[in-house]
Structure 1
Amino acid sequence: MNAFQRLRRQRIAVATRPFQARGGSIIRCEGCGLAEIHCACALKPTAIPAADFCLLMYDTEPMKPSNTGRLIADVFPENTSAFMWSRTNPDSDFLALLRNPLYSPVVVFPESYVREDEARQVLISANSLSKRPLYILLDGTWSEARKMFRKSPYLDGFPVISVQPDTLSAYRLRVAAHDNHLCTAEVAACLLQQQGDLAAATVLQDWFSVFRERYLMLKSRHKKE
């Protein structure tokens, strides 16, 4: 069981009412999150990336079938952690991870949101870091991610890195605010590409393509029906 799957179980266990999402009535595989009739567990790859990833997830995000943060944990199970976001009471294990001397934590967010009056480093590449990068991914809707970025004082001291995608997002599992907004898995793949880790980036992109294709197969079928 990877970090996302553990967090998902924890979040469901404390839910006070059933989570109602589009496609929520579909029987899904616990392993890959796809409808059981389109299960892709047999195709799931793994790789060892040149960085670690931390999914900081907003409220019900772990329970959404369309979430792609889970794909990062699928492909990099030994190099991905996942925690629920809290403005005032962050997980103690998450704070301990930020203090781990093996890592250089980096917040992944568009640099345009860093205020001019902030004494905050903006990185072009993680290759300038002295330690292994720990990419902190704010996983939620665009408005939720902005809130997390602005209201997480325990992240304020860490540098920010943006991704520079060459193509528009292929994500069509949820409606994005803008066409060039990438989903979480695409962001992670871009970060690895920027770091020069093309092998791990390709494995993640390929798994994202499989997930997306099979997710949309069922979505198209429901529209026809």
Structure 2
Amino acid sequence: MTQATPGFALNAVARLRDEREEAGIKPIEARGWRATRCRACRVIESHCLCAWRPKVQTRAGVCLIMTNKEVFKPSNTGWLIADVLADNFAFIWSRTEVDQALIDLLADPQWQPYLVFPGEYVEQARVVNTVEPSDGKRPLFILLDATWTEARKIFRKSAYFDTLPILSLMPEKLSRYRLRRSTRSEHLCTAEVAALCLELAQDNDAANALDAYFDVFSQHYLDAKRQLPLDCSSEAHEALKRYMI
């Protein structure tokens, strides 16, 4: 298990990655990238993102349900969420095995879990569009960090989610995600979804910090891929500075 860097929360996605590697599962190698990547942020070292990690206070927590492939993808944005939120959890999904720690987390009385999923695919009695206070409980957003096909499979075959309220988001803006191809611009990436959830929970500083961190990550990633010099004076970097440690 990985240890938290002093002053930072433990990144549960990094922990999962280390556990997969210890189990002999090999990471994904991005095509055409031969430069050494930073172990922490997954961007090639010349464009390392680590110095730009924000630190904010937040009441909400996030739990990522991931596939074995997703946890290794350098373009994955779930680990950005785990960087920003102190209370972050991540689990590898399996159809045949359920991690008892996930069951315990869902039953923890300090949390009010919300499964984030499109409402049109769910019985309407379970669907909510707002995050309301619940007996002093803190909101815990369950995000299916996978492709849309995989997310639907996880949703259908995970009985332990059947009693959770479904938080259906209605974003008014198109996705800014440029690191993978998508046929639909209204499909948000995981970090963008998490930022919307944080807004609903009125964790506005965390939502804004995550949005800014996501934009800076995208710039570092794409500039490295295109072999462009890194511009740390960009609008995204300036927005992120207010949330730096």
Please, what TM-score do these two structures have when normalized by structure 2? 0.83
- The CA distance in 2 between the partners of 1:89 and 1:206, in whole Å, is 36
Q: Which residue in 2 is equivalent to 1:98?
A: 106
Listed as ranges, the gaps of 5+ residues in structure 2 are: 5-10, 229-245
1:104 CA displacement: 1.0
> How well do the aligned residues superpose, as a CA RMSD in angstroms?
1.8
1:164 CA displacement: 1.9
Among 113, 123, 132, the alignment partner of 2:128 is 123
For residue 4 of structure 1, what is the amino acid of its counterpart?
V
- The CA distance in 2 between the partners of 1:79 and 1:34, in whole Å, is 24
- The CA distance in 1 between the partners of 2:108 and 2:33, in whole Å, is 38
1:26 CA displacement: 3.9
Q: Which residue in 2 is equivalent to 1:79?
A: 87
Q: 1:148 to 1:39 in 2, by over 3 A?
A: same
Q: 1:16 to 1:211 in 2, by over 3 A?
A: closer
- The CA distance in 2 between the partners of 1:189 and 1:122, in whole Å, is 19
1:99 CA displacement: 1.0
Q: 1:151 to 1:93 in 2, by over 3 A?
A: same
Q: Which residue in 1 is equivalent to 2:198?
A: 192
Q: Which residue in 2 is equivalent to 1:156?
A: 162
The answer to whether the Cα contact below 8 Å between 1:85 and 1:148 also exists between their aligned partners in 2 is yes
Regions of 4+ moved over 6 Å:
none
1:75 CA displacement: 0.9
Residue 101 of structure 1 aligns to a residue whose secondary structure is coil
For residue 196 of structure 1, what is the amino acid of its counterpart?
Q
Among 3, 7, 26, the alignment partner of 2:16 is 7
- The CA distance in 1 between the partners of 2:64 and 2:35, in whole Å, is 25
Among 39, 43, 63, the alignment partner of 1:30 is 39
- The CA distance in 1 between the partners of 2:146 and 2:158, in whole Å, is 14
1:115 CA displacement: 3.9
Residue 221 of structure 1 aligns to a residue whose secondary structure is coil
- The CA distance in 2 between the partners of 1:20 and 1:36, in whole Å, is 15
Listed as ranges, the gaps of 5+ residues in structure 1 are: none
Among 40, 54, 68, the alignment partner of 2:49 is 40
For residue 89 of structure 2, what is the amino acid of its counterpart?
S
The answer to whether the Cα contact below 8 Å between 1:169 and 1:183 also exists between their aligned partners in 2 is yes
The answer to whether the Cα contact below 8 Å between 1:59 and 1:84 also exists between their aligned partners in 2 is yes
Q: Which residue in 2 is equivalent to 1:50?
A: 59
1:17 CA displacement: 4.9
Q: Which residue in 2 is equivalent to 1:167?
A: 173
